[in-house]
Amino acid sequence: MVIEDYFTETKAAKVSIDILKAIHYMHQQNIIHRDMKADNIMIKSEGDKSWIKIIDFGLGIQNGDKKL
């Protein structure tokens, strides 16, 4: 595991957009995370490519009332 000391502005913008797209997709599926924070976002980078994973849905709900 490599931890980067900083992101370039371009990389930070791309990761931010990817996070927002993931949240938008979850909301389209009627899933609400309810504990979004940096600790619950995993980022994997290989060269110019990066992937995000949103983790820890312990407080998440579906359809506004069902616990996941």
Active site residues: 35
| Helical spans, DSSP H, in 2-60 | 9-28
Residue pair 41/19 in contact (Cβ under 8 Å)? The answer is yes
7 CB-near residues (< 8 Å, 6+ apart): 15
